[in-house]
Structure 1
Amino acid sequence: MPVPHNFATPIRLSAKERVLSQIQRWIIDGTLRPGEKLVDSELAEALAVSRTPIREAFQLLEVQGLVAMHPGKETRVTSIEKDDILKMYPTLAALYALAAETAAERITPEQIEKLKVCNRQFAEAIESGNPYQAMEIDEQFHDIVIDASGNPYIASFSASLQIHIRRFKYVFLQQPVTGTPASVEDHDAIIAALEQRDASTAAAIMKQNLIRPMGELHALI
Structure 2
Amino acid sequence: MPIPATPAVDRSLLRDDVFGRLRDAIVDGTFAPGEQLKDGDLAGWLGVSRTPVREALLRLGQSGLVVTHPGRSTVVSALDPHAERDARGVVAAMHELAVRESVGHFSDAQLDAMREANRRFGVAIELGDVEAALRADDELHAIPVRASGNHALATVLDQFTPVIRRAERLRFGSFDGQASHARHAELIRLCADNDVDGAAMVAFDTWHSLSTTASPGNEGDAEASARPLPEKD
Fold agreement, TM-score > 0.5? yes
Q: Distance in 2 between matches of 1:65 and 1:33?
A: 14
Alignment-derived partner of residue 19 in structure 2: 20
How many residues matched?
Answer: 205
Alignment-derived partner of residue 183 in structure 1: 180
Specify the code of the residue in structure 1 equivalent to 2:137: D
Counterpart contact for 1:118–1:137, Cα < 8 Å: yes
Judged with a 3 Å threshold, the aligned counterparts in structure 2 of structure 1 residues 60 and 218 are, in CA distance, closer, same or farther, namely closer
Q: Distance in 2 between matches of 1:56 and 1:219?
A: 27
Alignment-derived partner of residue 8 in structure 2: none
Q: Distance in 1 between matches of 2:100 and 2:196?
A: 4
Alignment-derived partner of residue 38 in structure 1: 37
Identity of aligned residues (%): 31
1:95-114 pair list within 5 angstroms: 95-114=94-113
Q: Distance in 2 between matches of 1:25 and 1:161?
A: 13
1:65-76 pair list within 5 angstroms: 65-76=64-75
For residues 35-60 of structure 1, what are the alpha-carbon distances to aligned partners after superposition, in whole Å with 9 as ceiling and x for unaligned?
Answer: 33322222233333333332232233
Structure 1 segments of 4 or more deviating over 6 A?
Answer: none
Alignment-derived partner of residue 163 in structure 2: 164
Q: Distance in 2 between matches of 1:95 and 1:88?
A: 11
Q: Which deviates more, 48-57 or 104-113?
A: 48-57
Gaps of 5+ in 2: 1-11, 217-233
Q: Distance in 2 between matches of 1:176 and 1:188?
A: 16
Deviation at 1:71, TM superposition (A): 4.4
Alignment-derived partner of residue 207 in structure 2: 210
Q: Distance in 2 between matches of 1:169 and 1:197?
A: 28
Q: Which deviates more, 108-117 or 122-131?
A: 122-131
Judged with a 3 Å threshold, the aligned counterparts in structure 2 of structure 1 residues 65 and 81 are, in CA distance, closer, same or farther, namely closer
Partner SS for 1:213: coil
Gaps of 5+ in 1: 1-12
Specify the code of the residue in structure 2 equivalent to 1:198: D
Alignment-derived partner of residue 81 in structure 2: 82
Alignment-derived partner of residue 224 in structure 2: none
Alignment-derived partner of residue 8 in structure 1: none
Q: Note the aligned Cα RMSD (angstroms).
A: 2.9
Judged with a 3 Å threshold, the aligned counterparts in structure 2 of structure 1 residues 159 and 60 are, in CA distance, closer, same or farther, namely closer
Counterpart contact for 2:167–2:210, Cα < 8 Å: no
Q: Distance in 2 between matches of 1:208 and 1:86?
A: 13
Judged with a 3 Å threshold, the aligned counterparts in structure 2 of structure 1 residues 17 and 148 are, in CA distance, closer, same or farther, namely closer
Judged with a 3 Å threshold, the aligned counterparts in structure 2 of structure 1 residues 191 and 17 are, in CA distance, closer, same or farther, namely closer
Alignment-derived partner of residue 195 in structure 2: 198
Q: TM-score, normalised by structure 1?
A: 0.77
Specify the code of the residue in structure 1 equivalent to 2:189: A
Specify the code of the residue in structure 2 equivalent to 1:160: Q
Q: TM-score, normalised by structure 2?
A: 0.74
Alignment-derived partner of residue 63 in structure 1: 62
Alignment-derived partner of residue 149 in structure 1: 148
